[in-house]
Homo-oligomer: A and B are copies of this chain.
Amino acid sequence: MDSLLEAAAQVLESEGFEKMTTTKVALRAGASVGSLYQYYPSKDALLHALFERKTERLRARFAASLAATEGQGLEARVRALIETLFLEKATRSRLGVELARQAPRLEKERLIERLSEDIHRAVHAVLDAHADEVGVADRELASWLVVHGVVGIADAAMLGPPARLRDPVFISAVTEHVLDALRVARLPSAR
């Protein structure tokens, strides 16, 4: 059932993995352990499902963000992507952190890698589409660096005040930072 999954998400979010017991999850969902095992044959099965839900959602948001800015300028598109990432990281952040913590044990690394590759590819496409504004030589590498750099920034920001990731001023600053790295000094002949 779906309420079981949501209950699992809530317990995981509020108590962390170590204190998330199958009994607590079942009770929170208004069911009993037995029922839980009817739908999810193991505690890990719950986590797998949560993983699915989370990555699905992130994928969808990115796609939507790209679609919504189709045809716009480089800055607008980069900003939209950054905003989307920050927003996703900010929503249920504890849940995200706990899931990430369990990723190795659940062998979800491949899945995560694939996800970040897809994002990388999307960013790469955006850079290519605005090649005239991008001064760096290797756009493939640049997009990889930018994606993971921004993820690192998001992760660090999560540790501070949670509002920061939604602060337009902060988002603008990060966007500018990224664009600075991409545009490079665009003089007729280098240096």
Contact = CB atoms under 8 A, between A and B. Distances in A.
A175 to B, nearest CB: 11
A16 interface: yes
Nearest to A155: B152
A116 interface: yes
Interface residues of A, number: 38
B101 A173 contact: no
Q: How many copies of this chain? A: 2
A137 to B, nearest CB: 10
Majority secondary structure of chain A interface residues (helix, strand, loop or mixed): helix
Given A159-B109, A180-B181, A145 B151 contact: no
Interface of A: 16, 18, 97, 101, 104-105, 109, 113, 116, 135-136, 138, 141-142, 144-145, 147-153, 155-157, 159, 173-174, 177-178, 180-186
7 contacts: A113-B159, A141-B173, A148-B156, A178-B181, A180-B180, A180-B181, A183-B185
Given A16-B105, A152-B152, A185-B185, 18 more contacts: A16-B104, A97-B104, A101-B101, A109-B159, A116-B156, A136-B177, A141-B173, A142-B177, A144-B156, A145-B174, A145-B177, A148-B157, A149-B149, A149-B152, A149-B153, A149-B177, A180-B184, A185-B186
Would you list the 7 A-B pairs with minimal beta carbon distance, nearest first? A152-B152, A149-B149, A181-B181, A148-B156, A180-B181, A148-B153, A148-B152
